[in-house]
Structure 1
Amino acid sequence: MHPSLSVIRKRSDFVAANGGLRNAKPEFVLLTRPNEGKGKRYGITVTKKIGNAVVRNRMKRRFRELLWAALPEAGLPDHDHILIGREGGVERDFASLEGELHVALARAASGEGDRARRPRHQRSRRA
């Protein structure tokens, strides 16, 4: 692990990052958000919709290596960086994942992001 990076472990930090910039790629979604001077931090999440535990852990290991390689130079200073795994992230070769991450980080650095997710539809209330 790189000494200038720290890991996000608290759920509240993951939830807060959801309000930041969002850059969606076929393999992952990168969320970036300023963190009030806490340095470069990263977090990885892969939902249970994606494969079994072996597949999810493999994806997390690959994402961790990607972030360790990219964030020291390309990461945003004093920002949280969250990678959310998507279905295609396991099969992609490492070089293309690396390229996609650099594109997403460059877009985040320039303040560009994808449109926010549509809110999940609410249940109708019956009176």
Structure 2
Amino acid sequence: MAIETLKKRAEFLRIRGGARFATPSFVLETKPRGPVPETVPAAPHDDGPRFGFTVTKKLGKAVDRNRIRRRLKAAVGLLAPTLAHPGHDYVLIARAQARDRAFTDVKKDLERAFLRVHHAPAAPVKGRNA
């Protein structure tokens, strides 16, 4: 399955405040996509899940960051067809253990994260009054 990815900063920021689950390898955040404004052209695969990957410079040099990103993308490619919900956007924020953790453990983390974010209430946004 080819993974449709988030590209723009605004797409990543929109997901903040949605359902969130942390694992030793990454943090998974998700939010359902709302209606697309008329000024934004529709993407060709607008109904499927989309994924964004964040790997900061704190995690190492470019070689390490790209390795982490490839590992996370591989896990998403294996599990997304069955566990990701259509019409949702996901962001995986990598942690240091994503580089050296066994790939089977990363897949288990992702599977558990998918199940938890879709069955847990959305986390409150810090700094906002309810």
User: Under a length normalisation based on structure 2, what TM-score does the superposition of the two structures give?
Assistant: 0.81
Matched, 1:77 2:86: yes
Whole-angstrom CA distance in 2 between matches of 1:117 and 1:98: 28
Whole-angstrom CA distance in 2 between matches of 1:76 and 1:26: 23
- 8 Å contact 2:15–2:91 — kept in the other structure? yes
Instruction: Give the paired residue count.
Output: 116
How far does the alpha carbon of each residue in 1:56-101 deviate from its partner, in whole angstroms, 9 at most, with x for none?
A: 0000000111111111110022100111100111010100000010
Which position in structure 2 is the counterpart of 1:51? Answer: 60
Counterpart pick for 1:10 among 5, 8, 16: 8
Q: Which runs of 5 or more residues in structure 1 are unaligned?
A: 120-127
Which position in structure 2 is the counterpart of 1:107? Answer: 116
Whole-angstrom CA distance in 1 between matches of 2:116 and 2:17: 16
Task: Give the aligned residue type for 1:81.
Answer: Y
Regions of 4+ moved over 2 Å: 36-39, 115-119
What is the alpha-carbon root mean square deviation over aligned residues? Answer: 1.8
- Shift of the alpha carbon at 1:18? 1.4
1:23-34 → structure 2 map (5 Å cutoff) = 23-34=21-32
Per the alignment, in what secondary structure is the counterpart of residue 49 of structure 1?
Answer: helix
- 8 Å contact 1:22–1:116 — kept in the other structure? no
Per the alignment, in what secondary structure is the counterpart of residue 90 of structure 1?
Answer: helix
Q: Give the share of equivalent positions with the same residue, in percent.
A: 35
- 8 Å contact 1:14–1:82 — kept in the other structure? yes
Whole-angstrom CA distance in 2 between matches of 1:47 and 1:118: 22
Which position in structure 2 is the counterpart of 1:19? Answer: 17
Q: Which runs of 5 or more residues in structure 2 are unaligned?
A: 36-45
User: Under a length normalisation based on structure 1, what TM-score does the superposition of the two structures give?
Assistant: 0.83
